[in-house]
Structure 1
Amino acid sequence: MQDTIGIPACFSSGEKPSDDPTAVTRSGESVFISVFRTKIADQCRLVIVTWCKNELLHGLSVSVEGPQGENQYGCKFELKPWWFWRKQGSKRFVIDGNKPVDVFWHLKAVKFNGQTEPISDYYVAVVCNEEVVLLVGDLKKEAYRKTGCRPALIDPILVSRKEHIFGRKRFSTRAKFHEKGGFHEISIECKNRNVDSLDGVIVVEPEMEMRIDGNLALHVQHLQWKFRGNESINVNKRRLQVYWDVHDWLFSPGLRHALFIFKPVLSSSSSSSPLSSLSLSSQTGSSGSLEGLNNGGTPEFCLFLYAWKIE
């Protein structure tokens, strides 16, 4: 079912990637997952593009799910720092028994700039039935020339992005809140504040600050009581609903993660409306679900950020 090219440690060999964040990050790699919905072989399917990074290498996985998420097919490979790894090429796998899907990649001059996902000078293209059904990266002309295929008639929809990051007190990343928008710098810090009690005793209370592009966007005090919640904020005059669950940061021992969800608020949506089909748990954002799609079928993008706290 799968064609493997040097599987990175953060991927399970020959298995569907686990929905358990603990399993995904068991080796300590940073992981960045983009989930797209598009039409492949006459069926609407999810395409999952996963980048991972550790101290030695970057890894890339491209997989396609069946119409109901019952099967998953794909290929994986490592971007090793040595001269002999393949910086460009293609690989084929078969879905539904007899329908070929080709993945083309070009990473000769790719720039990561310390990030898990590339920022420029690359492409990864998924081709089926002589159509480029998904194309990520900025070298689009080169991708169409190399594949010799036309763009698909239906544009893919970015359903969600999921990132796993590690830190002690401060967690930083850069991400888009809209598919066609620019990148934003996100910084989340959990710290303790000394508070004078009524009887004169100094009490230590945890609090959390979130900054976007250097500006204070969210400040949660008394975090021991408000470890789950949501709030509407404005970023570049656009409303964004932020959900957080930091329970495990405060009350669980060992390596533990908090979950943050960033959801753009559509002009016709209520800022207080709950996330459709989403729950603030470690299972949120399973790649096998049609997350980010409401009952009317309108795409609603979500960014899931898993922040792993290490001592």
Structure 2
Amino acid sequence: MDDAGSNHSLASSSEKQQAEDLQGTKTSQCSVTTVYKAYIAGGARIVTVVWSKTLISHSLSVVIDLKPWRPFWSKKGLKSLELENHRVDVYWDLRSARFSSRPEPAGGYYVALVCDEVVALLLGDSKKEAFKRTKARPSLADATLISRRENVFGRRSFSTRARFGDLKREHEIVVENSISGMAEPEMWISIDGDVVVHVDNLRWKFRGNETVAVERTPVQIFWDVHGWLFGAAVGLGHAVFIFKPSPPETTEASGEDDRQPAAAVVSSSMAPEFCFVLNAWKLE
């Protein structure tokens, strides 16, 4: 087993800086980052959409192939940039957006990326309004959702909702822990109210994976809670959970060979498949 202070912990220098910033501001900023592959300006592009929420505001950011727009603070607008001699426009209308406790709207909005009079990426449920405003036609090649990453904050319980790739509906995900106190720490992961993963003796099993069935589809669940257990000394307190709806290579975690940091799963050189990443920041 790795030593608690080894360099195999999940935290990178950027994550350490993020933790320091969070502690310095004492403001819990929840965020959701979705990554899409879309056909824009004559080629396949990576589009990253970030929804952020603080106690007082929401914001939206869009990045295309590392070319960012500044965050969109107004409820309706249009911004443009040049991409390889092509103009790319992003239209958004959040005036009727319905927000809950999560960073991204639950409905009543649209965000549309338009290039060469084609809507390359369309988010939200107000699609009719988006096409009317942009005066553009739908793309012949649908954008593909590659990954989704969410930051949530809590003490003993962390919850969110997510759709696993092409599966039909959203599912409620709850991660609970009993790290505080004198008892041996444990962890539970529930999907739609059913406990699908229970890890006892968490100090010895802080990294691992199991496979569960969701809508009759195998979903691999990877966890890395090193930061919860051993991160306090270096200013970190977050864990990473990855939900990957793909055929498993192994049926269960067994032995130290399976205890690789969860970040290694995301950066795998395998063919791209959808994964949902949950960063659970533990507040003291």
Q: Compute the TM-score of the two structures, normalised by the length of structure 1.
A: 0.76
The RMSD of aligned alpha carbons is 2.5
Separation in 2 of the partners of 1:19 and 1:180? Answer: 35
- How many Å apart are 1:49 and its aligned residue? 0.5
Match of 2:78 in 1: 90
- Number of paired residues? 259
Residue type of the partner of 1:305? L
- For residue 204 of structure 1, give the secondary structure of its aligned residue in structure 2: coil
Match of 2:216 in 1: 237
Q: Deviations over 1:24-78 (max 9, x none)?
A: 563431110000011111121100000000001001001100xxxxx42334222
Q: Deviations over 1:236-286 (max 9, x none)?
A: 3221100000011111114411000000024xx645499xxxx7355875x
Separation in 1 of the partners of 2:143 and 2:14? Answer: 26
Q: Deviations over 1:102-132 (max 9, x none)?
A: 0000111101111111111110000111110
- How many Å apart are 1:184 and its aligned residue? 1.1
- How many Å apart are 1:293 and its aligned residue? 7.7
Residue type of the partner of 1:219? H
Give the 5 Å matches for 1:127-138: 127-138=114-125
Match of 1:256 in 2: 237
For the Cα contact (< 8 Å) 1:20–1:283, is it kept in 2?
no
1:210 aligns with 2:189: yes
For the Cα contact (< 8 Å) 1:233–1:241, is it kept in 2?
yes
Change (3 A) 1:215 1:60: same
Change (3 A) 1:108 1:185: same
Q: Deviations over 1:177-221 (max 9, x none)?
A: 124521111111110599xxxxxxxx7311100111111111001
Separation in 2 of the partners of 1:222 and 1:110? Answer: 44
Change (3 A) 1:100 1:292: farther
Match of 1:307 in 2: 280
Among 99, 107, 124, which residue is 1:120 paired with?
107
Residue type of the partner of 1:258? A
1:164 aligns with 2:143: no
Match of 1:294 in 2: 270
Match of 2:50 in 1: 50
For the Cα contact (< 8 Å) 1:241–1:271, is it kept in 2?
no
Residue type of the partner of 2:147? S
Change (3 A) 1:281 1:219: closer
Q: Deviations over 1:129-176 (max 9, x none)?
A: 111000010111111111000111111110000001111111111111
For the Cα contact (< 8 Å) 1:29–1:54, is it kept in 2?
yes
For the Cα contact (< 8 Å) 2:179–2:229, is it kept in 1?
no
Moved segments of 4+, more than 4 Å: 22-25, 271-274, 281-285
